[in-house]
């Protein structure tokens, strides 16, 4: 408000505010107070760092690593305030001070993370006696320094700084050139007839745009991605061609708007930067600390979807051609025809649909209700204590045990000072170190209705609300000791998983009927409309997925260069990558290289695959929830505790594997996107799991372990009959019960270690292997059960899902002769929730195994 900047205490206002929820005081935000606060925060960090370095005692975890974490908290707090203000209510008078805050924070971070003396202290902290969370905190802190270059020699650190500065300059120059070219390539049309198909409003806007630039006629500006929204409705094929041509030529026409030099130099410098840090390519560096773990895993996911997406695209185009009697579709017509066909096929009246999605009802009876059903949390409106705008609404969240969990600040409406889109933010990060409860923000850009009128959502806004609320829950459930690992502080390729997962509830039969009620009549949404909505969303996924995958593949390829490679023929490199990966020319990538701002002017270098990677996990977990009966408190609580609450204080993928007994596979994503026929009908909630489904060899889209197993079976003339179950069968007894045989007929694939070398013993479920006896029998000095790492590297499979075959390398195999007693054996097929029938002879054939006795005479149970 009118406080003099000098008279407010920035510590109390922003950096360490007291009060019930430690909320910053937004009324104290002024240019001067922001600068004062960032100075105070960075000075504090600096002086703490100096004290840590000057400490004459041996470094301990608490005196060094924890103190370092605490030292940076005020910096994080001012960043949270500035980012809320900047994105939600950015007033011009704040522009300079906000820019200065970001510059100062970034400079302070660079200084801190290249401070060799500080790094040495932190590195010397003994970690042997730490509890697992502290140990991980110690490792992550060291890792952050190492990734910044703290372990390099002085000369290399200088090189790192130089490269970082050059990359920043290149990023800015890429942005400017792209902005210029995008502006110049806005499509200029003289004749109104060329705009046929656009609404009167759109035509008027195009005329205004032209007038703004001092010309006659009409101007269609370009949006960021390749396919332009107007392509859907423009009726003139010539205009469509002009729009698409202009869009795809951005950054590649020569002159000042050309970005190819920046692309070439940026990718070469990133490769060099990676090499300095000891990585073969930038993608290896960038993905090393992500969930995927490395560029190969990321590329595998992308590649594995190309064929199904292409197939679905071909199917969509076939329907379109058939319907409109076309022999061919040109690139500029694809988006147009798909949109036209979708509108006709599903016949959905958008205005009518919105009347079933009234914002407050969706929020209370949909979003909140689903969260209550799953996690027992409840939401109550309360007075807003402090926020950036009067539209912000506050909800207090109470846990099932009636303890206050945190606050949500909801900012629903768009305004001139707010950036576009929707997002979740953390105003106060919860942690045991600070004792703070979480305060999360949820920002949308809904059109504010006139006085007394309801706020209605379209299906996209509905989805967005459920999506963002998944992030909100992730932030609210945070249960970490250190703020730097709390809640949503997880890798980029994992962070969208909880939000994409939460989307599953919007059309769920246990949720939708509660909120989808006509705003005027209160009538529930007709079943036929629900079905049409769901089906219409799946139509066009072949197209959407293809253009996304092409962009993701470009990103990974540009960042797989080795140091010294400098690709100046940018467009040839791009065509070669796309052709080699099997993409059609009909659908250009969502972003072509020369206007791929995500990777050349924003933080997504080697990270564009992340959206898909998270979605694989989300789709897979959503099927798990379905198998638990949907809104199931027990399942929700367990999931919250094991997966959401720990944030990054545990390794996310290990947590997933521990909790679900296996790792996600891509099949559920294919089903979610409607890319392949479902392998099994989604099991009705009342009778989950028990009905197995045949997966024949003709279904190539399943788990890759199943594919590897099937290949071996087929090579031996055996028709694969892999059965999938929605839950795992960890023991022989549970497996036997599932398929209805005696436990002895279960052929367990047990991996042993013979001095580090894997040995596979196919063992009857009625036996335990006598390792000493068997070791003697086969002439080894010792035999131990293999640990999970050896199992994984030897078989490519996980414990509980190891198959007799389909391994990367052949493993010496022995077969328990007791299995001969059963006409049909059942073995795991490469994943913990799959099994397959085999005869004894077939087992010998596919393993090349030697028959042995695994227990001494007379020791049989």
User: What positions carry a catalytic annotation?
Assistant: 468
Please say whether the beta carbons of 262 and 558 come within 8 A. no
CB 381, min distance to Zn ion, A: 24
Give Dmax over CA atoms of the chain in angstroms: 99
CB 206, min distance to Zn ion, A: 32
Spatial distance between the Cα atoms of 175 and 98, rounded to a whole number of angstroms: 20
Please identify which residue in 499, 662, 729, 842 interacts with Zn ion, judged by CB under 5 A. 499
Please say whether the beta carbons of 471 and 488 come within 8 A. yes
CB 691, min distance to Zn ion, A: 35
* Helix ranges, 114-187 (H): 116-123, 132-148, 154-184
Closest residue to Zn ion in the complex (CB): 499
Contacts to Zn ion from residues 633-692, by CB under 5 A: none
Q: Which stretch binds Zn ion (CB under 5 A): 261-269, 362-370, 498-506, 799-807?
A: 498-506
**Given the complex with Zn ion, which of 188 and 673 has the nearer CB atom?**
673
CB 140, min distance to Zn ion, A: 23
**Given the complex with Zn ion, which of 258 and 496 has the nearer CB atom?**
496
Contacts to Zn ion from residues 142-201, by CB under 5 A: none
CB 642, min distance to Zn ion, A: 21
**Given the complex with Zn ion, which of 496 and 547 has the nearer CB atom?**
496
Q: Which stretch binds Zn ion (CB under 5 A): 236-244, 307-315, 495-503, 756-764?
A: 495-503
Spatial distance between the Cα atoms of 522 and 520, rounded to a whole number of angstroms: 6
Spatial distance between the Cα atoms of 400 and 322, rounded to a whole number of angstroms: 55
CB 529, min distance to Zn ion, A: 27
CB 499, min distance to Zn ion, A: 4
**Given the complex with Zn ion, which of 496 and 615 has the nearer CB atom?**
496
CB 496, min distance to Zn ion, A: 5
CB 474, min distance to Zn ion, A: 10
Question: What is residue 711's DSSP assignment?
Answer: H
Spatial distance between the Cα atoms of 79 and 608, rounded to a whole number of angstroms: 25
Please say whether the beta carbons of 516 and 357 come within 8 A. yes
CB 467, min distance to Zn ion, A: 6
**Given the complex with Zn ion, which of 174 and 466 has the nearer CB atom?**
466
**Given the complex with Zn ion, which of 226 and 610 has the nearer CB atom?**
610
Cβ within 8 Å of residue 59, ≥6 positions away: 52, 121, 122, 124, 125
Starting at the earlier edge strand, list the strands of the sheet with 423-428: 378-382, 393-398, 404-413, 439-446, 423-428
**Given the complex with Zn ion, which of 424 and 529 has the nearer CB atom?**
424
CB 602, min distance to Zn ion, A: 15
404, β-bridge pairs: 398
- CB neighbour burial string for 187-224, b if at least 16 within 10 angstroms, e if fewer: bbbeeeebbebbeeebeebbbebbeeeeeebbbbebee
Q: Which region, left, alpha or beta, applies to residue 661 given φ > 0 means left and ψ of -120 to 50 means alpha?
A: left
Spatial distance between the Cα atoms of 369 and 367, rounded to a whole number of angstroms: 6
CB 189, min distance to Zn ion, A: 37
- The site for Zn ion, by CB under 5 A, has a size of 2
Q: Which stretch binds Zn ion (CB under 5 A): 154-162, 307-315, 450-458, 488-496?
A: 488-496
456, β-bridge pairs: 358
Sequential DSSP letters for 211-250: HHTT-SSEEEPPPSSSS-GGGGT---HHHHHHHHHHHHTT
**Given the complex with Zn ion, which of 381 and 603 has the nearer CB atom?**
603
Cβ within 8 Å of residue 408, ≥6 positions away: 379, 394, 395, 397, 439, 440, 441, 442, 472, 476
Q: Which stretch binds Zn ion (CB under 5 A): 472-480, 493-501, 689-697, 775-783?
A: 493-501
**Given the complex with Zn ion, which of 421 and 684 has the nearer CB atom?**
421
Spatial distance between the Cα atoms of 657 and 343, rounded to a whole number of angstroms: 42
Q: Which stretch binds Zn ion (CB under 5 A): 437-445, 479-487, 490-498, 784-792?
A: 490-498
Please say whether the beta carbons of 430 and 487 come within 8 A. yes
**Given the complex with Zn ion, which of 145 and 494 has the nearer CB atom?**
494
Cβ within 8 Å of residue 613, ≥6 positions away: 291, 292, 298, 301, 493, 494
**Given the complex with Zn ion, which of 459 and 832 has the nearer CB atom?**
459
Give the x-and-dash track for 751-780 against Zn ion (CB under 5 A): ------------------------------
Q: Which stretch binds Zn ion (CB under 5 A): 226-234, 489-497, 714-722, 849-857?
A: 489-497
Phi and psi at residue 216, to the nearest 5°: -85, 175
**Which structure tokens are listed for 822?**
């059963």
Give the x-and-dash track for 438-477 against Zn ion (CB under 5 A): ----------------------------------------
Spatial distance between the Cα atoms of 455 and 354, rounded to a whole number of angstroms: 9
Spatial distance between the Cα atoms of 372 and 375, rounded to a whole number of angstroms: 5
**Given the complex with Zn ion, which of 424 and 745 has the nearer CB atom?**
424
Spatial distance between the Cα atoms of 760 and 561, rounded to a whole number of angstroms: 39
446, β-bridge pairs: 413
Cβ within 8 Å of residue 538, ≥6 positions away: 673, 674
Q: Which stretch binds Zn ion (CB under 5 A): 229-237, 408-416, 496-504, 637-645?
A: 496-504
Report the interface residues with Zn ion, using CB under 5 A: 496, 499
């Amino acid at each position: 408000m009118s406080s003099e900047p000098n008279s407010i205490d920035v510590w109390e206002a922003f950096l360490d505010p007291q009060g019930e929820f430690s909320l910053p005081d937004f009324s104290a935000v002024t240019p001067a107070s922001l600068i004062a606060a960032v100075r105070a925060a960075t000075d504090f960090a600096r002086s703490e760092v100096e004290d840590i370095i000057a400490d004459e005692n041996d470094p301990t975890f608490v005196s060094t690593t924890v103190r370092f974490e605490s030292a940076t908290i005020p910096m994080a707090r001012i960043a949270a305030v500035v980012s809320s203000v900047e994105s939600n209510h950015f007033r011009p008078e704040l522009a300079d001070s906000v820019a200065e805050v970001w510059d100062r924070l970034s400079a302070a971070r660079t200084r801190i993370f290249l401070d060799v003396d500080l790094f040495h202290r932190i590195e010397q902290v003994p970690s042997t006696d730490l509890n697992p969370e502290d140990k991980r905190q110690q490792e992550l802190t060291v890792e952050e320094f190492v990734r910044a270059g703290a372990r390099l020699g002085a000369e290399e650190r200088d090189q790192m700084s130089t490269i970082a500065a050059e990359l920043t300059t290149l990023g800015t120059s890429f942005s400017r050139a792209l902005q210029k070219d995008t502006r110049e390539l806005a499509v200029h049309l003289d004749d109104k007839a060329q705009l046929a198909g656009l609404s009167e409003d759109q035509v008027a806007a195009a005329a205004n745009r032209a007038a703004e630039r001092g010309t006659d006629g009409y101007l269609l500006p370009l949006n960021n991605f390749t396919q332009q929204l107007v392509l859907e409705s423009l009726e003139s094929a010539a205009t469509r061609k002009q729009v698409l041509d202009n869009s795809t030529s951005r950054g590649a026409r020569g002159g000042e708007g050309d970005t190819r030099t920046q692309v070439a130099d940026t990718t070469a410098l990133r490769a060099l930067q990676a090499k300095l840090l000891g990585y073969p390519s930038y993608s290896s560096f960038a993905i090393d600390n992500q969930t995927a773990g490395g560029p190969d895993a990321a590329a595998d996911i992308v590649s594995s979807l190309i064929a199904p997406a292409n197939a679905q695209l071909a199917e969509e185009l076939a329907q379109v051609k058939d319907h409109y009697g076309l022999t061919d579709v040109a690139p500029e017509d694809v988006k147009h025809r798909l949109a036209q066909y979708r509108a006709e096929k599903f016949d959905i009246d958008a205005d009518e649909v919105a009347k079933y999605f009234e914002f407050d009802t969706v929020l209370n009876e949909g979003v909140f209700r689903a969260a209550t059903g799953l996690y027992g949390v409840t939401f109550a409106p309360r007075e807003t204590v402090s926020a950036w705008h009067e539209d912000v609404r506050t909800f207090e969240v109470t846990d099932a045990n009636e303890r206050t969990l945190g606050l949500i600040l909801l900012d629903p409406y768009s305004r001139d000072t707010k950036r576009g889109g929707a997002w979740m933010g953390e105003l106060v990060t919860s942690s045991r170190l600070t004792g703070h409860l979480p305060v999360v923000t949820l920002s949308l850009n809904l059109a504010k209705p006139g006085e007394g009128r309801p706020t209605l959502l379209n299906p996209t806004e509905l989805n967005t609300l459920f999506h963002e609320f998944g992030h909100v829950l992730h932030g609210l459930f945070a249960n970490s000791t250190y703020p730097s690992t709390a809640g949503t502080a997880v890798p980029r390729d994992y962070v969208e998983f909880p939000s994409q997962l939460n989307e599953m509830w919007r059309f769920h039969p246990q949720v939708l009927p509660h909120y989808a009620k006509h705003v005027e009549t209160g009538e529930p949404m007709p079943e036929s409309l629900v079905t049409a909505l769901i089906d219409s969303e799946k139509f066009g996924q072949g197209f959407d997925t293809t253009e996304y995958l092409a962009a993701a593949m470009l990103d990974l390829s540009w960042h797989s260069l080795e140091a010294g490679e400098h690709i100046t023929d940018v467009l040839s490199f791009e065509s070669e990558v796309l052709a080699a990966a099997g993409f059609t020319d009909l659908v250009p990538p969502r972003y072509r290289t020369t206007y791929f701002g995500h990777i050349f002017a924003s933080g997504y270098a080697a990270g564009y695959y992340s959206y898909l990677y998270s979605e694989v996990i989300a789709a897979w977990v959503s099927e798990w929830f379905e198998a638990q009966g949907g809104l199931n408190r027990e399942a929700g609580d367990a999931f919250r505790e094991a997966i959401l609450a720990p944030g990054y204080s545990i390794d996310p993928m290990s947590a997933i594997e521990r909790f679900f007994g296996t790792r996600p596979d891509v099949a559920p994503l294919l089903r979610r996107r409607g890319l392949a026929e479902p392998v099994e009908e989604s099991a009705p909630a009342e009778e989950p799991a028990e009905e197995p489904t045949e997966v024949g060899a003709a279904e190539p889209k399943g788990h890759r372990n199943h594919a590897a197993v099937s290949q071996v079976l087929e090579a031996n003339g055996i028709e694969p009959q892999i059965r999938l179950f929605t839950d795992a069968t960890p023991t022989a007894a549970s497996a036997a019960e599932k398929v209805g045989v005696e436990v002895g007929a279960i052929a367990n694939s047990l991996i042993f270690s013979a001095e580090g070398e894997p040995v596979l013993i196919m063992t009857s479920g009625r036996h335990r292997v006598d390792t000493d006896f068997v070791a003697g029998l086969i002439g080894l000095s010792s035999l131990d059960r293999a640990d999970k790492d050896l199992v994984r590297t030897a078989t490519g499979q996980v414990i509980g899902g190891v198959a007799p075959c389909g391994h990367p390398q052949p493993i010496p195999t022995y077969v328990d002769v007791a299995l001969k007693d059963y006409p049909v054996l059942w073995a795991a097929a490469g994943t913990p929730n799959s099994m397959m029938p085999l005869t004894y002879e077939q087992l010998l054939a596919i393993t090349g195994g030697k028959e042995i006795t695994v227990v001494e005479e007379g020791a049989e149970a």
